[in-house]
Amino acid sequence: MAAGPGGRGRRATGAVIAALALGLAACSGGEDGPAAEDKGEKAAPPGGAERVVRLIGDGSTAFTGRQPHQPKAERLKPGQEPPQFVVFSWDGAGEDGNRLFSHFRELGREYDAHMTYFLSGVYLLPESRRTDYHPPGKPPGASDIGYLRDENIAATLEQLRAAWLDGSEVGTHFNGHFCGPSGVGTWSVADWHSEIEQAKWMVKNWRTTTGFADAEPLPFDYDQELIGGRTPCLEGQDNLLVAAAEAGFRYDSSGNGRQVWPERRQGIWDIPLQAVPVPGRTFETLSMDYNFMVNGAGETEMRDGLLAAFERAYAGNRAPLIIGNHFNDWNGGVYMNAVEDVIKELCPRDDVHCVSFRQLVDWLDAQDPAVLERLRSLDVGERPEVGWAAFLRERGAA
């Protein structure tokens, strides 16, 4: 079920269950003290303006100021129609020889799409240092997605730097990707705390573990950047939510859901993958490439299914459309082609906002809670019979 970023990793257990209509989704300890060391270094992000870099810890990450290209989150005016958000997210987020990370990052820049890259921490940990990772209930160094070669770690770092400077988000897919009876679904709250801290540690210490002494730091403080994630195979969310809230996360995207407006669980936004149409079938599947694949759908079915889901929301309740993917070449890459077509079709539209999860929760947090409660009363594809102005005017004014 879990393959490496280009589809060459070892598979995890539990894939058979995912072949059901909704099924599961496949997917390709920390140091404290963000004390900065101001060495006067500078970096030039897109646009040419220099950014002052203050290194954190061993220099793997750095303070570089506010993230570029972030939209302003504004509260809806009374009676205003909600914007249509679309979130494209990527599980694993490693760059290998297929160069899908770099391809879709460039596509996002071209078509005005900010995305969320859920990084698997072990993709920054060299295999020679694998025993630095202590997965809960597993031997040191165990990983069901393996480890990347040094050149792929370096390439992944390059893409993570550029993605953040483009305005996209770096979340977490945690680390060893363990699914099934002895996997993350069995983990306690304490186990999830350990996994989160180790995911941070791998990002904050890659310069030490890799020996890439001359490589540029990641241009963010990961303790501040990391506000959400998605669990392997969408398992273990209940205990994760408790740990995530205690760790300061603002959202989680590990659930199975419907195309309705999200709500909070354990104090953080629960923004699941969604059941979407499968053209020509009598059932729906999760809005993820892997689930279209295991249900026998091809490129056209996935593209048209996601577009149908978009139109259902756009003409209906305006709930955000949540799409999950992997940098993988399943069935010759047809699902990557489908996602690319959807990005090109939707994101250039003036009234569509292709955003990261961070940008979505920034907008949600800016809204009147009474307005969000009203929006959550709408079912899948349901548009207010009285029109948006009448439906939201009274609540918005309040």
- pLDDT of residue 36 exceeding 60: no
Structure confidence by residue, pLDDT tens digits, 266-320: 999 999 999 999 999 999 999 999 999 999 999 999 999 999 999 999 999 999 9
* Angle of the 237-246 helix axis to the 189-204 helix axis, nearest 10: 60
**Which residues on neighbouring strands pair with residue 321, listed in sequence order?**
86
Q: What is the mean pLDDT of residues 320-337?
A: 97
- Residue 51 scores a pLDDT above 80: no
Structural domains counted in the chain: 1
User: Torsions phi, psi of 326, nearest 5?
Assistant: -135, 150
pLDDT of residue 17 exceeding 60, the answer is no
Residue 176 lies in a domain: yes
Task: Inform me whether the pLDDT recorded for 367 exceeds 90.
Answer: yes
Q: Which residues, 6+ apart, have CB-to-CB distance to 390 below 8 Å?
A: 79, 384
Domain presence at residue 291 = yes
How far, in Å, CA of 302 to CA of 287, rounded? 9
Residues 116-161 pLDDT 10s: 999 999 999 999 999 999 999 999 999 999 999 999 999 999 999 9
Mean pLDDT, rounded, for 56-62 = 98
Decide if 9 is inside a domain.
no
Has residue 373 been placed in a domain?
A: no
Q: What is the CATH number of the domain that holds 239?
A: 3.20.20.370
Q: Is 190 within the bounds of a domain? A: yes
In a domain, 258, yes or no: yes
Q: Which domain holds residue 362?
A: 57-70+83-366
Q: What mean pLDDT is reported for the chain?
A: 90
Query: Does any domain span residue 112?
Result: yes
Residue 349, in any domain of the structure:
yes
